[in-house]
Structure formats: structure tokens, C-alpha cells
Copies of this chain bind each other. A is one copy, B any other.
Amino acid sequence: MTDVDAAGARELGILIKATQAALNQRMDEALRPLGLTVAQYACLSNLHAEPGISSSELARRTFVSRQSMNVLLQALEKQGMVERAPEPGPRRERAALLTSRAQTSLAQAETAVADVLARMLTGLDPTQRDALRAGLTACRDALLDV
């Protein structure tokens, strides 16, 4: 790898961090009026996409430790947003489900987040979006496989 490649690679690393930081900040601003944090939104969104998954599975999908996800879930449980099955499943997991109140809250959150994402993608035509998706997928996969 040449020097210019190395410099460009470092720039890309910083760019990934900067973009994620900006996106997180905007999402936080958009979700705060709804009383949700970004982590809570991610939790609810994943539970909506796949109801009944366990806390550990949820942790993996939101890129946090299962301990952190557990305290997050407990907070959401106190707020009446999720209900957890009292009876553990085959692998000791307790299924989590959204309450109807969480469904409506999540719907509002989804539109707020959609606005942020639409703003982020302003100026990128479908071809460019596909290129971005392909590039990020390649980066992620290259970093993930052991």
C-alpha cells in the first residue's frame, strides 16, 4: 500500500466515524422530543422487526453488550414499552415484546428518523446510494470475518 493509499484510508476511517457521529447526533435531536434515546429507538425498532427475540440477540443487533441491553430493557419495561416473558425459553432466554403504547411511539419515531435519513441522503441519486451501500457492506464484512 502506497503512502497516498494509506492517507486515503485514514481519511476514510475518520469519515466513517464523523458520519456516524453526525447521524447519531441528528437522530438524538429528532428522538428527544418523543422521550426516546437512540439506543432505545434501536431496541424498539429491532423488537418490532422481530418480536420475541431475546435480550442477548437484541444486544448483538444494536452493537452493545448484553449487560447494557438488559438495563435498557428494564428501563423500557418500567416505562411500559416492552413486556418480557416470565418463563425462560430453551436457552434460558426471555422473549421481549412491544406493548401497544410502544407501537404508537415507535411509529412516530420512525417518521422522525426517516426525516433525518432523507436529509442525510439528499444529493445522492440511487446509483450513488447503491455504491455507498456496496462500499460500506464490503468494509464491514472485511472487518467482521475472522
Binding site for B on A (CB under 8 A): 1, 6, 8-13, 15-27, 63, 113-114, 116-124, 128-129, 131-140, 142-144
A140, B9: Cβ atoms closer than 8 Å: no
Closest B residue by C-beta to A19 = B140
A19, B136: Cβ atoms closer than 8 Å: yes
Interface SS, A side: helix
The minimal Cβ–Cβ distance linking A11 to chain B, given in whole angstroms, is: 7
Cα-based distance from A27 to B14 in the complex (angstroms): 12
The minimal Cβ–Cβ distance linking A27 to chain B, given in whole angstroms, is: 8
Closest B residue by C-beta to A46 = B14
Known: A118-B1, A143-B119. A136 touches B12 (CB 8 A): yes
The minimal Cβ–Cβ distance linking A57 to chain B, given in whole angstroms, is: 15
The minimal Cβ–Cβ distance linking A127 to chain B, given in whole angstroms, is: 9
Q: List 17 A-B contacts (CB under 8 A).
A: A1-B114, A6-B118, A9-B117, A12-B121, A15-B133, A15-B136, A15-B140, A16-B16, A16-B19, A16-B136, A17-B20, A19-B140, A121-B142, A124-B135, A128-B134, A132-B132, A132-B136
